[in-house]
Structure 1
Amino acid sequence: MNTSPSERRVALVTGAAGELGRAICQRLWRDGLHVVAVDIDLPAARQLAGALPALPGQRALPLYADMGDAACIAAMVEEAGAAFGRIDVLVNNAAVNHRGSIFDFDAARWDHMMAVNLRGPALLCQRVAPYWKASGAGGRVINMVSRCWVAGGPPAYVACKAGLVGLTRSMARELAPLQVTVNAIAPGLLPSAFTLDGRDAASFELMAEGSIASTPLKRLTTPEDIAGTTAFLASPDAAFITAEVIHVCGGSQLAPFGR
């Protein structure tokens, strides 16, 4: 299909430089979208953008954003909009996780998680909404949650992800008049720097073994699993799907969540 640069849809992906964000950017790029790769680690976002195969009329733009900073989000969206004139697909993938139980959580860290994981996606949608209004072409919002929203786990992280499910459903109603669909993806345990942070190899291995044992399809989630589901939700094939949570975890949403 021949598509002019101005007709190509634009996908903005937060947390783009991590394993999951990178796989999502690569898949959307292969599907022909311009990609705005947003990360708090700008050099890593630039490296990702530079590694995408050069294709005529297709552009990858790396941008910095701290998703806990409202002014930073506004500036990033303004820069992306100025570069492309449109934003069609929004993937809220950036997240932080300061682990702790209800007995020992730190209030400042709790607030930071809420700001990045829950308020950030809401503010980002608010800032992108004028582009959906102006284009009249509809759009897609895809929020990354976790299977822990139904099974429990570290309280602050679970509260953020459960809140993001609620936000998904609320925004699906509010953005429907603009023909914007809003859905969430709930991955299972996915080996990455994010899930390994704060854990040693032995404790993660035990966690992975437990996850596989409780997963009907008997393996861990891969970045490509999530990227494929993201691509589907971003595609015309998903135009009539909204307010859904798609569990991409091999059936492990049926089992209790381990710490």
Structure 2
Amino acid sequence: MTSETRRVALVTGAAGELGRAICARLLEDGLHLAALDIDLGAAQALVERLPKAPGQRAIALRADLGDAASIHLVVQQVGQSFGRIDVVVNNAAVNHRGSLYDFDPAQWDHMMAVNLRGPALLCQQVAPYWQRQASGRVINIVSRCWVAGGPPAYVACKAGLVGLTRSMARELAEHNVTVNAIAPGLLPSAFTLDGRDAESFERIAQGSIRDTPLQRLTTAEDVAGTTSFLASRDAAFITAEVIHVCGGSQLAPFGKR
């Protein structure tokens, strides 16, 4: 693939474990990359160490998905750098854990802004590129909890993102844009470990494995491979789908852990 024909992928939450794996796979697939993260230094370190083919480019940009002005600016920066945007992976998320009895309204609003409104605003800003190109891909990272239940604010965000996936699939179809979601199972990472000690996470992990017919946890590479497929020509006629990358654990209830 030459530099002139390379598509451009924009990945949010690029510096986390899952984002890193997705970025590495899309670069391996031959796309140019815009790695977005609220931690610019971490995103820069990522793009510097990822291997790139001759003529292939990767840039790092700071983006706060909870801030509409930040989203507008970063899409302008990506457009100026590459002239096109083909694939958007909405991977960035925050999780302030809390039950129905004790959630903080301010934290709820922050989660909704980053996890749900952010992907919608990002796609709104990228849409003119898809209209001109008559093509595009959106891949939303949700969670198996959207169907199984769990912490109410986080589940509400992810279930909302599934609904947004389906709505955008209808609205963007006229521009030959597909919109799909990936729902991973429990994936060991700084994100899932945040606020938990090793013992409590191990208990959750063992419960998840018991609930999973394929008897293991999700890996970042599992999700990156599915992202690669949905961004490829082979997925050109797939839209409005939720692909569960969780070894069958979507069949089990969330349970109390």
**Same fold flag (TM > 0.5):** yes
Aligned to 1:42: 40
Tell me the amino acid that sits aligned with residue 64 of structure 2: D
Tell me the amino acid that sits aligned with residue 25 of structure 1: C
The match for 1:64 among 59, 62, 66 is 62
1:165 aligns with 2:168: no
Question: Structure 1 residue 166: deviation in Å?
Answer: 0.2
Structure 1: segments with no counterpart, 5+ residues:
none
Which runs of 4 or more aligned residues in structure 1 lie more than 3 Å from their structure 2 counterparts after TM superposition? none
Mapping of residues 62-101 of structure 1, within 5 Å: 62-101=60-99
Aligned to 1:181: 178
Structure 1 residue matching 2:106: 3-state secondary structure: helix
1:203 aligns with 2:206: no
Deviations 1:199-243, CA, capped at 9 Å, x for gaps: 000000000000001100000000000000000000000000000
For 1:7 and 1:115, the matched residues in 2 are separated by 35
Question: Structure 1 residue 54: deviation in Å?
Answer: 3.5
Deviations 1:79-115, CA, capped at 9 Å, x for gaps: 0000000000000000000000000000000000000
Aligned to 2:232: 235
The match for 1:126 among 124, 149, 170 is 124
Deviations 1:144-177, CA, capped at 9 Å, x for gaps: 0000000100000000000000000000000000
In the alignment of these two chains, the number of paired residues is 256
Aligned to 1:144: 141
Backbone CA RMSD of aligned residues: 0.6
For 2:163 and 2:192, the matched residues in 1 are separated by 23
The match for 1:251 among 221, 244, 248 is 248
Aligned to 1:105: 103
1:54 aligns with 2:52: yes
For 1:159 and 1:133, the matched residues in 2 are separated by 30
For 1:183 and 1:21, the matched residues in 2 are separated by 17
For 1:134 and 1:4, the matched residues in 2 are separated by 21
Structure 2 residue matching 1:6: 3-state secondary structure: helix
For 2:13 and 2:228, the matched residues in 1 are separated by 16
Q: 2:36·2:62 contact (CA, 8 Å) conserved in 1?
A: yes
Tell me the amino acid that sits aligned with residue 114 of structure 1: M
Structure 2: segments with no counterpart, 5+ residues:
none
Aligned to 2:223: 226
Question: Structure 1 residue 129: deviation in Å?
Answer: 0.3
Given the two structures, how large is their TM-score scaled by the length of structure 1? 0.98
Deviations 1:6-51, CA, capped at 9 Å, x for gaps: 2100000000000000000000000000010000000000000001
Q: 2:27·2:52 contact (CA, 8 Å) conserved in 1?
A: no
For 1:90 and 1:53, the matched residues in 2 are separated by 21
Given the two structures, how large is their TM-score scaled by the length of structure 2? 0.99
